[in-house]
Structure 1
Amino acid sequence: MGALLSHEKAARTMGGRMDRLVIRGAAVLDGTGTPAVRGDVLVDDGRIEALLPPGAPVAAARVVDAGGLVVAPGFIDIHTHSDVSVLLDGRAQSKVHQGVTTEVVGNCGFSAFPLVSRHLGDHVELLAGIGDDPVSPDWRDFAGYAAALEGGGTAVNVAALVGHGQLRIAANGMDARLPPQRLAAMCALLSEQLEQGAFGLSTGLTYVPSRYADTAELTALCRMLARHDRLYATHARGSSVDAIDEAGRLGRDTGARIQFSHLAINEPDRWGRAGELLTVIDRHRDDGVDLAADVYPYDASASALTQYLPAWVHEGGVDAMRTRLADPSVLRRAEAELAAGWGDGGRIPWFWDRVILARTDGVLDAPEGATVLRAAEAAGVSEARYVLELCRAGGNRVQVVLFYRTEDDMREFLRHPQTLVGSDGSALPYEQDGRRPHPRAFGAHARVLGRYVRELGDLELATAIHSMTSAVADRLRITDRGVLRPGLAADAVVFDPATIADRATYLDPGRPPIGVTHVLVNGRLVIDDGAQTAERPGRVLRARR
């Protein structure tokens, strides 16, 4: 029939239990990278009960007719920023419609914990850099954050990393200097979060205050991670050989497992040199370092606009930046330095027509969807001055999309056996009220399967599924999902490999993909025949001690 029988019809026809379900006649890709096998998947009480030959008799179960379709483990998005968005809207629309069933949050040094009361304003301001509406946290640690998520209900599972930015604020405020006793406090606080079930630590080494971390600080934290066998995910200081070497040395010196986040080349003079970075990763792996990377399938990035300011401009946080830029002479100096470029020492030239205002919340009446070039011209000021004024008025809330990458580089990264698929996006509602978040939030996984598997042939289907499922579970040490195997959690996606595709664009991002018919999270249907249900079966996952 090609559609799931309704609850009522299934119950009338079979007298079946509502939590028992069989997916019939699909090509089963179990997530391990092995070729598909035609068969049935039996789900009961939130778990995979059995993998069966096609048409095997099953008593008292609802039926999904998946003939001509593929069933795979639910996708685990290794790099997301859904920390706040799943609290604000538990539907997680932009992700479940792609088949994503688990969001790994807490990346790039941003997380919703740990928080301390004396620095709560700085914590909340840092969270604004993710790009969501503000929240008023009533929790302080991972356990409290998990309770808030579970209390609200989500359609997806959540696995959390500790954000280094929040960890550093909790222990040291926004000061750049870190006394030894504060570093010891950071390590103790990190250990507490790991004991509570966080899967690791992330850094955002281009963001304040994470960017203040030196080698000694990162080494101490990575040693704590190695002690707990947890992951270190780094948004590095750049996309150069030196940045990967810094990550590799940390792995070598501490024994920590290293994940290089959203591998990309943002410098125009280095476009086309993806192979150089991959060679460095291979070299560190050959030396015994557990180093891998993730990539999202787009040629543009997105972030808070404040990230691109000279480091000294926002030292000490947003309030300090506003005070600093109120001085006309300081503002002129900042304008001159910013105009010269961004990135490592300002070496990357600005192409203002490649910078799109994605979210402004009406700050300075800045038009969402416009380029900085056009917006600054309309305001009658230089582009650098316009950016500084936006950051002074809007802080970390102002978000931009930068077209500073090439698809060829991204494709080479995607094909490498040590890269995993992540979105770098949040679980968002489709209605965006005129905002233009990066389409990666709405289409990354579907885009890999549609464009880079089916259309361009960069990856075999089984390989792509592996990089979204069991390979991610293995990387994080998630032991109960990521593979279609009896006894594991029943997170699964049913899709049509001939039609699956993303439809989100930069100007119209809030568009669902096509080709995904059913999605199960912990055995409950969150997508039923292409439509989202009211189910909120997601759980907060916890690392095993």
Structure 2
Amino acid sequence: MGYDVIVRGGRWFDGTGAPSAVRNIGIRDGRVAAVTAAELDADGARVVEAAGRWVMPGFVDVHTHYDAEVLAAPGLGESVRHGVTTVVFGSCSLSTVHVGPLDAADLFSRVEAVPREHVIRTLEQHRTWDTAEEYAAALERLPLGPNVAAFLGHSDLRASVMGLGRSTDRRVKPSAAELREMELRLVDALKAGMLGLSEMRNPWDKMDGDRYRSRTLPSTFATREERRRLYRIVRSAGRVLQTIPNLNTPYSLVPALAASVGRGGRRPLKTSMLAAADVKANPLLMHIMGPLARASNRLGGDFRWQHLPVPFRVHADGIDLVVFEEFGAGAAALHLKEEVERNALLRDEDYRRRFRRDYENRWSPRIWHRDLYDAHIVACPDPAVVGRSFGQVADERGVHPVDAFLDLVVEHGRALRWYTVISNHRPAALDKLSALPEVQMGFSDAGAHLRNMAFYNFPLRLLSRAHHGGFMSVERAVHRLTGELAHWYGIDAGTLREGDRADLVVVDPDRLDGSLDEAREAPFEEFGGLVRMVNRNDATVTATLVAGVPLFLDGRFTEAHGTRRTGGFLRAGRTRIPSMA
């Protein structure tokens, strides 16, 4: 029999970490039919030339927030053009399996910086499901570009059972009937093939809208009994808990690590926790992450830290950045939606004194380093401040850095654009973290924070560091981005051997260069032309195929992208799920 597609002459990496070799790959009916050093008969086949390039399984991105975007633009082109062929959403307790459009917008929009009106409109236009199985079926009817897999979000689950108001009221505990209904819906989600449960325990993330604005997410209100019962189901099914600890109480990491451990013959609770990083605000933190996870796993746990293997650089328009939720004065400003009200607050001297106290408090929990000398202005109607830090502007004006920052926000609003690097800024420390076996590559947040950051190309950046820095082999780097993830999450992806899905990427190693560190801006038509941050490395990825169909080829999307369903809903392994009858 002939082949539909032949990828010819590239250096082939199979995704298992095995040695690479120059091979020809024959694809038939969406699967790899041949991997061979011999020439393949190209009669009738589409040939993708790969000589001098690397051919590997498509990358797996295990932490995105594509929940709304996949409905509006199911080709998910920003990931596909960078070789990602499998994406996971439903992260951070947020999913759209059960809640309606208005509740989903209140849950998502402020936390993940996705415009609220677009979340509402997208779900109003596309929502046709009531159950997890119907949700999976609805996704499979879309012209998906990459494959998708999903968590059930605990905030989605809790709000749909209790109502959004009751689920975020600390005085209200779920009734026995409500706890039972949460269990049943989680079981249904796992039977539908969802990866597990995602939760949020950190109180810094707040809700949008007018009804319950600035309340923390429903998952943060869960009782110990509620979590215990939901964890039992996830554990018994061999699925995954994705979690974020309460960063106000770092000691809460210990119970979370302990929960992963299987006791008395029960299986471990597979746990993926955010996030392993070399944080500027606490440089010692990275040194305990590996030992903590290692200790849990030696005691019988199955614990991984999620890790973004690139410097964590964020941009902001004015004060619109989630890091300000960390302290009271910042959260108070973000609570106000109207610019007039917000500016009045930012001018108030009592408020500014409070902001300065928060800014200078060295002992409060933090992710942001709160150093305005390390926050650089890249755009402003006043050209005199562009290229300077807020600290430099403060020195020139003879004021406190907080006053310089707030003055510029009041004067220019969202036209003031600036950036800072929060973590992963030291190359040697980043290499050390990326090599830890207790971390897994991910946490791109693709589909969220559209004006704040762009990490769609993080797999290419890890490959570049491995290729040029040598801190791990390229085979190992490929494995970490593909087969290692797919195996742990239990999905059909991540390897490129005979019989495997023909999801693959062709990379030009000569273009694993400094261009990967650049971010640009481009309009997103499906969200009303919103200008979002993106990566553009179209010379680095020369081809992306899903199910054997080229979607991105030689710097352009093909006619199949966004019009033909190539990806599918990847269901987690059919492990026994406890009956709740």
Output the TM-score relative to the length of structure 2: 0.74
Q: 2:169 aligns with which of 172, 175, 197?
A: 175
Is the Cα contact below 8 Å between 2:329 and 2:351 reproduced in 1?
A: no
Paired residue secondary structure (2:182): helix
Residues in 2 aligned to 1:525 and 1:512: alpha-carbon distance in whole angstroms? 18
Q: Deviations over 1:253-306 (max 9, x none)?
A: 6731011233114353x3155232111111111111011122112222659735
- How do 1:348-367 and structure 2 match up within 5 A? 350-354=370-374
Secondary structure of 2:534's aligned partner:
coil
2:277 corresponds to 1:264: yes
8 Å Cα contact 1:454/1:498 also seen in 2: no
Structure 1 residue 332 displacement after superposition:
8.0
Q: Distance in 1 between matches of 2:250 and 2:472?
A: 25
Q: Structure 1 CA distance, aligned partners of 2:519 and 2:83?
A: 21
Change (3 A) 1:57 1:507: closer
Distance 1:319 1:184, change over 3 A: farther
The answer for unaligned runs of 5 or more in structure 2 is: 206-215, 380-384, 522-532, 575-581
Is 1:281 aligned to residue 275 of structure 2? no
Instruction: Give the Cα–Cα distance (whole angstroms) in 2 for the partners of residues 130 and 472 of structure 1.
Output: 24
Cα deviation 1:50-75 (Å, max 9, x = unaligned):
22233144654222222222211111
Letter in 2 for 1:31: G
Q: Which residue of 2 aligns with 1:461?
A: 474
Equivalent residue for 2:526? none
SS across alignment from 1:454: helix
1:311-326 matches, cutoff 5 A:
none
Separation (CA, whole Å) in 2 of partners of 1:386 and 1:351: 11
- Paired AA for residue 421 in structure 1: M
CA-CA distance at 1:175 after TM superposition: 1.9
Letter of the aligned partner of 1:470 in structure 2?
A: G
Give the Cα–Cα distance (whole angstroms) in 1 for the partners of residues 285 and 367 of structure 2.
17
Match of 1:201 in 2: 197
- Measured in 1, the distance between the counterparts of 2:470 and 2:191 equals 43
Residue 448 (structure 1) aligned with residue 462 (structure 2): yes
Q: Identify the residue that residue 534 of structure 1 maps to in structure 2.
A: 559
- In the alignment, which of 29, 35, 43 is matched to residue 51 of structure 1? 35
Do the aligned partners of residues 28 and 301 (structure 1) sit closer, same or farther apart at CA in structure 2, a change above 3 Å counting?
A: same
Match of 1:498 in 2: 510
Q: In the superposition, relative to structure 1, how do residues 126 and 272 fare at CA in structure 2: closer, same or farther (>3 Å)?
A: same
Distance of 1:131 and 1:115 partners within structure 2: 19
In 2, Cα distance between the equivalents of 1:356 and 1:113? 40
Q: CA deviation at 1:185?
A: 3.4
What amino acid is aligned across from residue 108 of structure 1 in structure 2? C
Return the letter of the residue paired with 1:261: L
Q: Does 1:156 align with 2:146?
A: yes
Q: 1:412 aligns with which of 417, 432, 443?
A: 432
Partner residue in 2 for 1:424 = 444
Alignment partner of 1:225 out of 230, 234, 255: 234
- Work out whether residues 157 and 541 of structure 1, in 8 Å CA contact, stay in contact via their aligned partners in 2: yes
Q: Among residues 59, 75, 81, which one is paired with 1:91 in the alignment?
A: 75
In structure 1, what is the Cα distance between the partners aligned to 2:283 and 2:69? 33
Letter in 2 for 1:95: S
CA contact (8 A) 1:109 1:204 kept: yes
- Give the aligned partner of residue 529 of structure 2: none
Q: Relative to 1, partners in 2 of residues 1:343 and 1:225: Cα closer, same or farther, differing over 3 Å? A: farther
1:296·1:421 contact (CA, 8 Å) conserved in 2? yes
Pick from 16, 23, 36 the counterpart of residue 7 of structure 2: 23
Matched AA of 1:449: L
Secondary structure at the residue paired with 2:112?
coil
Instruction: Please give the alpha-carbon distance, in whole angstroms, between the structure 2 residues aligned to 1:488 and 1:163.
Output: 30
Which letter maps to 2:536? P
- The SS at the match of 2:8 is strand
- SS of the residue 1:440 aligns to: coil
Aligned partners of 1:171 and 1:454: how far apart in 2?
A: 49
Tell me how far apart the structure 1 counterparts of residues 43 and 248 of structure 2 sit (CA, whole Å): 55
Structure 1 residue 412: deviation in Å?
Answer: 1.4
Query: Greater shift after overlay, 40-49 or 296-305?
Result: 296-305
- Partner amino acid, structure 1, of 2:431: R
Query: Secondary structure of 1:503's match?
Result: helix
Farther off after superposition, 324-333 or 412-421: 324-333
Separation of aligned partners in 2, 1:24 and 1:330: 68
Asked if structure 1 preserves the Cα contact closer than 8 Å seen for 2:352 and 2:403, the reply is no
In structure 2, the CA distance between the partners of 1:330 and 1:90, relative to structure 1 (3 Å rule), is farther
SS class of match (1:175): coil
**Could you tell me which residue of structure 2 aligns to residue 236 of structure 1?**
245
Q: CA deviation at 1:475?
A: 1.2
Give identity over the alignment, percent: 24
Which residue in the other structure is 1:131 paired with?
113
Kept in 2, the 8 Å contact 1:81–1:424? The answer is: no
**Alpha-carbon deviation of 1:341?**
4.9
Could you say which residue in structure 2 is the equivalent of 1:362? none
Question: Which deviations, in whole Å up to 9, do the C-alpha atoms of 1:395-426 show, x marking residues without a partner?
Answer: xxx99865244334332110112322214231
- Deviation at 1:457? 1.4
Instruction: Give 1:184 deviation, angstroms.
Output: 3.8
Distance in structure 2 (CA, Å) of the matches to 1:383 and 1:319: 19
1:158 aligned counterpart, secondary structure:
strand
Instruction: Give SS of 1:113's match.
Output: coil
Per the TM alignment, residue 463 of structure 1 is displaced from its structure 2 partner at its CA by 0.3
Residue 203 of structure 1 contacts residue 236 of structure 1 at CA under 8 Å; is this kept in 2? no
Amino acid at match of 2:291: T
The more displaced of 402-411 and 95-104 is 402-411
Count of residue pairs the alignment pairs up: 506
Shift of 1:159: 0.8
| 8 Å CA contact 2:290, 2:438 repeated in 1 | no
More divergent stretch after superposition (502-511 vs 61-70): 502-511
1:80 corresponds to 2:64: yes
Alignment gaps of 5+ in structure 1: 1-15, 360-366
Instruction: Sort the Cα spacing of 1:240 and 1:372 in 2 relative to 1 into closer, same or farther, 3 A.
Output: farther
Give the conservation status (yes or no) of the 8 Å contact 2:53–2:507.
yes
Matches within 5 A, 1:106-121: 106-116=90-100, 120-121=101-102
Equivalent position of 2:422 in the other structure: 403
CA contact 1:308–1:342 (8 Å) conserved in 2: no
Query: Alpha carbons of 1:399 and 1:283: their partners in 2 closer, same or farther (altered >3 Å)?
Result: farther
Report the 3-state secondary structure (helix = DSSP H, G, I; strand = E; otherwise coil) of the residue aligned with 2:26: strand
Coordinate RMSD, CA, aligned: 4.3
